[in-house]
Amino acid sequence: MHGMKLKLFVIISVMFSLSACRVTDFSSRERTSIFNRYIQPVFQTEYTIYPDQFTTEEIATIKQGFKNWEPILSKLAGKEIHFKYMGIKEVPIDHSDNLHVVVRLDLSPNTAACTKLITCYDQSSKPLLGADIFINSDVSFHTMDQWHMGGWREYFSQCLENTVAHEVGHLLGLQHSTNPNDLMYKGGNATCIRVPTENDERALEELYLKVLIQYQFK
C-alpha cells in the first residue's frame, strides 16, 4: 500500500512538473521517439476533397487550412510533419475512415462547418481518428486569394481558410477557446485568423505533454 501511495505521489509530482514545462524543453530526439512510438501509429495525416463540390480556389484554400498547423506539429514531433493531400476522391464518410474527408453538406443555418463527432453531434472530447470536415452548402465563403479589408468581407461571407484551419484543430483533438483572438474560438472572428495563435499552440502542446505523462510510467 505504501508503495502504491509513493508511486501516485511521484506521478502527481511529474504531472505538475510537466504542466509547467514546454515541449522545447525536450530534445528533438526525445520528441521524435515519443511521436513515432505512440502518436504516429494512430495519427491520420491523409485527407481527400470530395469531387465537384469546390472551385480551384476553394481547394487551394482548404489545403492551406491544413498546412497552417504543420509548423506547430513539426515542433511537437521534433521532425517535419506534413498533411498529405490525396486528391479529389469520393470515399465513405464515417468515423472509421482511414483518412479525413472534406465535403459539403446541408448543416444548420448557424453552422459554417463542423467536425464529425465533436461539433456536429455529441460534443465528444475524445481524439478523432478518420473524422471528416463538413462545410455548410448554404454558407457563402471567400478564399485566401480574395481580399479581406480588415474583416469587412466577413459581413458578406465566411473566411474559408479560417473555417478549415479551425476544424483541423478539432481533428488534432483541440476544443474551443474562450479567447476571441484565437483560431479555435468558438464564435469565429471578423479578422479571419487563419493560423494558430500562441494560445492555440499551447493548447496543442498540453495535449502532447499528456502523452508524455501517460507513457512515463508504462
DSSP string, 102-132: EEEE---TT-SEEETTTTTTT---SPPSS--
pLDDT digits (tens, 9 = 90+) for 173-204: 888 899 988 999 986 655 678 999 999 999 99
Instruction: Answer yes or no: is pLDDT of 211 > 50.
Output: yes
Closest-CA residue to 200 (of 174, 180, 164, 171): 174
Helix/strand/coil for 14? helix
Cα–Cα distances in angstroms (integers) from residue 23 to residues 28, 30, 48, 77, 167, in the given order: 9, 10, 30, 9, 23
- CATH code at 160? 3.40.390.10
DSSP of 121-163: TT---SPPSS--EEEETTS-EE-TTS--GGGGGGGTSEEHHHH
Identify the domain containing residue 39 by its residue range: 2-216
Number of domains comprising the chain: 1
Q: What is the pTM of this model?
A: 0.82
pLDDT in tens, 4-57: 434 433 443 444 454 557 777 778 888 888 888 878 887 889 999 999 999 999
- pLDDT single digits (tens) 91-140: 887 666 778 999 998 887 777 888 764 444 434 444 445 688 999 888 88
pLDDT tops 80 at residue 155? no
